[in-house]
Amino acid sequence: MLAAHSDRRCVTGGLRQRTEEDSVRHTAATEDIQGHGSSTGYRSQLLGGAPGCNGIAMILLDVSILVSAHRQDADQHCQIKSWLEATLGDPAGVAVSELALSGCLRVITHPKIFKKPTPLTQALDFVEDLRSREEVHLLGLGAGHWKIFVDLCRRGDARGNLVPDAFHAALAIELGCEWLTLDRGFARFPGLKWRHPLD
């Protein structure tokens, strides 16, 4: 699971739990965001648009951020985890797709990527914990996603391992989100608003 933070230090533990003050601060923004989708049981399944707080574009997280926040041996682990914890405290929260969550699960449990991959139970706990948080909004594909995806594949010359990147980029474009990633290769996709979280 994501490590808790105290005085911006990186230590092993769980996600920082929201305080009562955090909860009050999140309420209005969360209700506004969830108005675009279902807030019952499955929480906010946002389709067709994902404005953040006060009209600011919601940020959508890439697999690379989730992996770096989870794995202590990943590059910039402490910085990315600190950034994510702070961002979860913003009124608008963050957005993530279940495709990105499953991609994170694939990477952190892969024995050819890490010498000591995350045990499956621990990996599942991490993605389930993140997915269940009120600050994290689940985004689904809209009706226009496939057309945008195909166009990005052609215009960005996306082949092989770049195809999933085009799929993620199309979701961000379709829903008007800002794509947050550690992979600067996403610059290849025209029309995608993206940035590195530490820039």
Q: What is the pLDDT of residues 4-42, one digit of tens each?
A: 332 323 322 333 444 444 443 333 333 332 333 322 233
Helices marked H in the chain — which ranges? 20-34, 63-70, 77-88, 98-108, 120-132, 145-155, 162-175
- On whether the pTM is more than 0.75, the answer is no
Average pLDDT over residues 192-199: 93
Decide if pLDDT at 125 tops 60: yes
Kindly report the CATH number assigned to the domain that includes residue 129.
Answer: 3.40.50.1010
Q: For 62, how many CA atoms within 13 A lie in the half-sphere containing its CB? A: 25
Structural domain count of the chain: 1
Closest by CA to 61, choosing from 5, 110, 102, 101, is: 101
- Summary mean pLDDT of the chain: 78
pLDDT at 183: 94
Decide the pairing of beta strands 45-46 and 5-6: unpaired
Angle at which helix 120-132 crosses helix 63-70, to 10 degrees, equals 120
Residue 57 has what DSSP assignment? B
pLDDT digits (tens, 9 = 90+) for 89-122: 888 889 999 999 999 999 999 999 999 999 999 9
Q: What proportion of the chain, given as a percentage, has pLDDT over 90? A: 64
3-state DSSP call for residue 35? coil
- Provide the pLDDT for residue 51: 47
**127 alpha-carbon distance from chain centroid:** 11
Range in 24-28, 65-69, 82-86, 93-97 the model is least confident about: 24-28
- Percent of the chain scoring above 70 in pLDDT: 71
Instruction: Categorize the per-residue pLDDT at 75 as very low, low, confident or very high, splitting at 50, 70 and 90.
Output: confident
Q: Is-contact 104 68, C-beta < 8 A?
A: no
Segments forming the whole domain that contains residue 60: 5-195
